[in-house]
Amino acid sequence: MTTTYRSSAAGLPDPVYVFSALSCLGFFTQWVVMLMNGSFVAMLLTTWNGIFPDSAPVKTWTGIWPIDFVLSLLVVFFGGVLDLVNLSDLAPFLILIDLIFALVVCGLMTLVEDRRNRQTGPLRYSAFWQIMWNYCGAGSVLPVYSRLYVKTRLANKPGISHEQAQALPFTALWVVALSLPLLAPAVLGATPFQIQNGIVVWFFSPLTVGPIQELVSALISRLGFSKGMASPVTIAYCIAGSVSAAAHLGVASWAFLSPELSWSRIYWPDHGRVQQGPDLLTDAAVIFMQYGHIVVQLCVLTLGIYTLGYERLRTGHPVLMLVVVMAIAGPGAALAWLLCRSEEQMATGEAESKRS
């Protein structure tokens, strides 16, 4: 079933320009800044030589140089951030946690929109979008996806089949768990090679989300789970949003309670820290992630403005609520709240169309 309603973006600027500007901002603050401070060249040289600044080797996986080089580039980027033993403080790891769990909600969003229409349109292939922002940076890629979402979904939102919808809360748990290969080895004191393996497993893990969704959906269909949950899509977003909120509040609490950390150290880019030396790659990765986190917040806020619409924007209350949720619980929870609200509006529209 397809729900059609008046576009809430009426009266607002063309989203192509707004989200393209955000994407350019993300690309500049992440990749161009790395070029300017010399860390991008250092990352390439480290990958080429196969040796970290602390003399630890970079693992190879396939023996095929182009593939190993691409994977090693990712490993070199995250390697210093996940080397908890040699970090001067935990700010790099904490901003990584906050950003990764915010992107969990974004990843679930791509799956939901993929299940609305798997035949046509640019919102298909959820694994593609997740792998893209895992590798290229959420600051550059998420605005592109958001622009396509606004252009494609605001005026015409297809429904999801019963079995697919009922499977989403279970798949949401799987999407949350996919962050563990990246984060858990460092916390558990794994060896450098085990940490590098975890980075690669995490990078490819979005490829498992579709098959898991299909498996759970098939089980629900076979077991005759006819009634099921009343609002499964909303429940799925609540699961991902709650985990993202818990991660953000945990990071914020750590910053508040730790004498060696502060909010600005974790969330606000400090270009003065990026200096030539053994910590160059780590400090540059922190700035990359901090700018990614900032652009994700701007993207969620902009997406909220277009989703809530011009008329509601004038009253201010829904947008203010979105800002409050983001300020307290982070961008992932704010996006989950926004998407839950959208699902409720869609359900209301379907009920009204049935009555008429």
Give residues with Cβ within 8 angstroms of 52, minimum separation 6: 46, 58, 76, 79, 80
Gap between the Cα atoms of 272 and 275, Å rounded: 7
| pLDDT, averaged across the chain | 89
Q: How confident is the model at residue 158 (pLDDT cuts 50, 70, 90)?
A: confident
Per-residue pLDDT tens digits for 61-71: 888 999 999 99
Residue 120 backbone phi and psi in degrees, to 5: -140, 170
Hey, which bits of the chain come out as E strands? 2-4, 156-158
Gap between the Cα atoms of 72 and 64, Å rounded: 12
Give me the count of residues in the chain. Answer: 356
Which stretch of 63-72, 316-325, 332-341 has the lowest confidence by average pLDDT?
316-325
Gap between the Cα atoms of 256 and 253, Å rounded: 5
Tokens of 195: 């940490």
72 contacts 60 by C-beta, under 8 angstroms = yes
Q: Is the pLDDT score of 4 beyond 50?
A: no
pLDDT given at position 54: 83
Per-residue pLDDT tens digits for 94-144: 999 999 999 999 999 999 999 988 877 888 889 999 999 999 999 999 999
Q: How confident is the model at residue 313 (pLDDT cuts 50, 70, 90)?
A: low
Q: Per-residue pLDDT averaged across 219-224, rounded?
A: 83
Q: Identify the three-state secondary structure at position 268.
A: coil
Per-residue pLDDT tens digits for 276-292: 888 899 999 999 999 99
pLDDT given at position 316: 58
254 contacts 90 by C-beta, under 8 angstroms = yes
248 contacts 332 by C-beta, under 8 angstroms = yes
186 contacts 195 by C-beta, under 8 angstroms = yes
Q: Per-residue pLDDT averaged across 313-323, rounded?
A: 75
pTM: 0.92
Q: Is the pLDDT score of 1 beyond 70?
A: no
Q: Is the pLDDT score of 242 beyond 90?
A: yes
Which stretch of 192-201, 202-211, 222-231, 307-316 has the lowest confidence by average pLDDT?
307-316
Q: At what angle do helices 126-136 and 192-204 cross, to 10 degrees?
A: 140
81 contacts 93 by C-beta, under 8 angstroms = yes
pLDDT given at position 117: 82
Gap between the Cα atoms of 193 and 52, Å rounded: 12
Q: How confident is the model at residue 5 (pLDDT cuts 50, 70, 90)?
A: very low
Percent of the residues in the chain that have a pLDDT greater than 90, as a whole number: 69
Residue 55's Cβ-side half-sphere holds a number of Cα atoms within 13 Å equal to: 0
| More confidently predicted of 139 and 313 | 139
Per-residue pLDDT tens digits for 193-203: 999 999 999 99
Residue 158 host element (H or E): strand 156-158
Q: Identify the three-state secondary structure at position 4.
A: strand
pLDDT given at position 344: 83
pLDDT given at position 353: 61
Q: How confident is the model at residue 10 (pLDDT cuts 50, 70, 90)?
A: low
Give residues with Cβ within 8 angstroms of 180, minimum separation 6: none
Give residues with Cβ within 8 angstroms of 159, minimum separation 6: 1, 2, 3, 116, 350
